[in-house]
Structure 1
């Protein structure tokens, strides 16, 4: 029997109120108490921080002191589990996850080699293609510019290390290339058709336990606003290949694909963390959060493919009041 609550820290917590609620519910199903901690640049203006049991301020995740501040907090507060929520913090946390583990905190992050791949969209496409995953034609902006006569337009352009739909655009023709870009960019063939997110869970042995696709009916700021779970055996096969393409995936991840009516499904991005649409998979019965907690408690992981098809999520704005 465990003494005391499970202490869970959400970093860059922002608006992840729903994600924290998933973990509270998972702890309740495991019959253990749960204490939610959260941090952000300005915790007083973060809904997730405001609804947590404890909150604190941190610098940007690119600050050299970021990891050290988290380690000290985890040590003094006896944090059991640290859950990152944005892509830029994954590399420093992956590099330090063994140090956290020695101090008693499990960081929900894949190995550094996996993070290095998924944080670079060009490397992602190359790794997926080598594993037999269907991917869109992709090139660096320089390669696409020099072969513009052979490159099919329109085409997508996006930062190689971007996230949350930052910096994406559409090139109608070679004349739309800018003379210079502020960061590495890639160009991908333009895909048409419905877009899906597939939430997957990989156990501590690297085995895929669950893959829950949802169609993205409506998106806001790169995050699903309206979605519906949709069971498709072809997506499970793709998920197996995605997992095999990575050297050390662990826990909850998600990837995005478009089902083009002519080319078929094409995977174009991986997020090696809980995605913004995970609450839909959780409500459908995916149990990823509960599986992580079970593992922490020394119990068998419980994520599986016994989830409900056709579950719809319709998000709306809510307010958190303080004072």
Structure 2
């Protein structure tokens, strides 16, 4: 038996199923626990063996609530699913370990980088990773002459799509943004996500690119795995640049026809498109469970190219 807790579980039904299948391959039975703000309205919570309510991850008692559950229920592995909870969980890793729970999260120094888009670009550029030209929006406002419009604006921190937009000219730069903003050269071309697995020592074991054929609500709806040596090499460079990174990360890039691939986003967690990498044979979830069980990590480079995922709406009913 291996007990796995998914936090901010929401709609991550397919992710929990990936772990169920991974456990079976290892000869284990997975007991899925899940939590959310409103577990009665979370499909992943409704499919879990156990579900409970938690406050927002910014609440002062968030970690304590999780720790209590992990200690009481003997949770083996905690898997966060959203960016905003990574910071508090990374800084509490040792407390969870003392309770017998491994938290799937990178070290705080890694989370500090990936949660700040300006630092992300700076760290990656210093490591030779191709990134778009980037600056603070106030610097571009002060001297737009050195930039070729249109440009892309996005917040320094945060997640999802808050505040993003295309700037067609200097006149589009507002002077009342509610948070710090960045400006980047506007990239054109197909967009890819690369799911990657780093073992407990931070060594990259696997990187699986997929073309984002179409997206909905920021997540891939239709995708196809592509074995692109350039993108796999970029993944290795990112792994080397992020000291303290481990487990599953994903990053996004655009393969610009003029500039080549340019990385613009990193998420230090399971991304929404991970089930495609799992089905293609990446074995990331299985590798994590193997680590928990004291077995050899097994994330694999022997995955299948050309695997296509097409998502559709389903429903979970209770009552």
Question: What TM-score does the superposition give when structure 2 sets the normalisation length?
Answer: 0.99
Deviations 1:107-149 (A, max 9, x none): 0000000000000000000000011000000111111211212
Is 1:192 aligned with 2:188?
A: yes
Q: What secondary structure sits across from 2:265 in the alignment?
A: strand
2-side partners of 1:144 and 1:85: how far apart? 34
Correspondence 1:274-313 to 2 at 5 A? 274-313=270-309
Deviations 1:69-115 (A, max 9, x none): 10111111110000000000000000101111111100000000000
Instruction: State the SS of the aligned residue for 1:149.
Output: helix
> Which residue is equivalent to 2:311?
315
* Distance in 1, Cα, partners of 2:265 & 2:2: 32
Asked if 2 retains the 8 angstrom alpha-carbon contact of 1:58 and 1:69, the reply is: yes
CA distance in 2, matches of 1:164, 1:89: 14
| Structure 1: 5+ residue stretches without partners | none
Output the CA distance in 1 between the equivalents of 2:152 and 2:94: 38
Whether 2:99 is the aligned partner of 1:99: answer no
1:148 correspondence with 2:144: yes
Task: Provide the residue aligned with 1:228 in structure 2.
Answer: 224
Once the two structures are superposed, residues 13-65 of structure 1 have per-residue CA deviations (whole angstroms, 9 ceiling, x without a partner) of 00000000000000000011110000000000000000000000000111111
Q: Secondary structure at the match of 2:146?
A: coil
Match among 118, 122, 125 for residue 121 of structure 2:
125
- What is the count of residue pairs matched by the alignment? 319
Residues 6-155 of structure 1: matches in 2 within 5 Å?
A: 6-155=2-151
SS in 2 for 1:204: coil
Q: Which runs of 4+ in 1 moved over 4 A?
A: none
Q: Which secondary structure state, in structure 1, belongs to the residue aligned with residue 97 of structure 2? A: helix
Deviations 1:234-269 (A, max 9, x none): 111101111111111110000000000000000011
Is 2:208 the partner of 1:217? Answer: no
Deviation at 1:164, TM superposition (A): 2.2
Tell me, yes or no, if the aligned pair for 1:164 and 1:223 is still in contact at 8 Å: no
**In 1, Cα distance between equivalents of 2:21 and 2:162:** 32
Give the Å deviation of 1:193. Answer: 0.4
Structure-1 separation of matches of 2:167 and 2:297: 45
Encode CA deviations 1:170-211: one digit per residue, 9 max, x unaligned: 111111111111111111100000000000000001110000
Deviation at 1:165, TM superposition (A): 2.3
**Counterpart-to-counterpart distance in 1, 2:158 and 2:117:** 8
Aligned to 2:175: 179
- Give TM-score, length-normalised by structure 1: 0.98
Counterpart check, 1:157 vs 2:157:
no
RMSD (CA atoms) = 0.7
Alignment correspondent of 1:253: 249
